[in-house]
Amino acid sequence: MYVAIAGNIGSGKTTLTEILAKHYGARAYYEESDNPYIGDFYNNMSRWAFQLQVSFLGSRIGQTVEMLSSSEANVFQDRTIYEDAHIFASNLHEMGLMTSRDFATYMRIFDLTTNLIPKPDVLIYLRASIPTLVEQIKRRGRAYEMNIDEAYLSRLNDKYEHWINNVYQGKVLIIDKDTEDFVMDASVVDTICERLEAIVAGK
């Protein structure tokens, strides 16, 4: 079972990945948190947008190759290669922070890669409002995230909703992080697992 967890910055992807990997005794693959461009990006988005996204894409490609060569029966992935392109790179291009030439180059690499790898068996999408995202970003206290603009988060939320509802083709489990607190309420985790297993079983 290959399960990927998608969602905006601060939605709880890493935490849920940890919880589900532990629950299933599975291997967890986490998003790169020490990208060498990320601090520069948040200080000057237009200067570093392309470098940041290519770096994340390269990291995700390497992670996916490792996953595919693994003998693990179950794997959980914190964020997907699809989000890199359809959410973050696309948003930066629309905001004028990534040139059309850079975006086209990025998408050629993305398209080549995604034609060679399988989709997740299930994609878990963590839907969260801006207040929830801001609260969780502040709680985890990463210095480079402290100046993220709420309008930027809102744009990303809109991109996620469009992607989930109109672009992504695969099985999706949506969790409303505003009301389903899997950190504070263990029963929520049980419900998520039941729903996940039902989707995998095709019920």
Q: What is the CA radius of gyration of the chain?
A: 16
Per-residue pLDDT, 203: 65
Question: Closest by alpha carbon to 50, among 7, 5, 109?
Answer: 109
- Burial class of residue 146, CB neighbours in 10 A (0-12, 13-18, 19+): exposed
pLDDT at residue 17, as a whole number: 96
Helix (H, G, I), strand (E, B) or coil at 12: coil
Q: Mind listing the domains of the chain with CATH numbers?
A: 2-200 (3.40.50.300)
Per-residue pLDDT at 71: 79
Eight-state DSSP code of residue 145: G
pLDDT score for 109: 93
Q: pLDDT value at position 38?
A: 87
Give the integer Cα–Cα distance in Å for 114 and 96: 25
Q: Detail the DSSP E strand segments found in the chain.
A: 2-7, 27-29, 75-78, 122-127, 172-176
Q: What is the mean pLDDT of each run of 10 residues along the chain (203 residues)?
A: 94 95 94 85 91 92 83 89 94 95 96 88 96 87 75 94 96 96 91 95 80
Catalytic residue among 78, 102, 121, 178: 78
Q: What pLDDT, on the 0 to 100 scale, is given for residue 192?
A: 96
How far apart CA 34 and CA 43 sit, in angstroms, is 16
Tell me what pLDDT residue 149 has: 82
- Catalytic annotation present for 176: no
Element spanning 103, H or E? helix 100-114
Model confidence, pTM: 0.90
DSSP string, 23-36: HHT-EEEPPPS--T
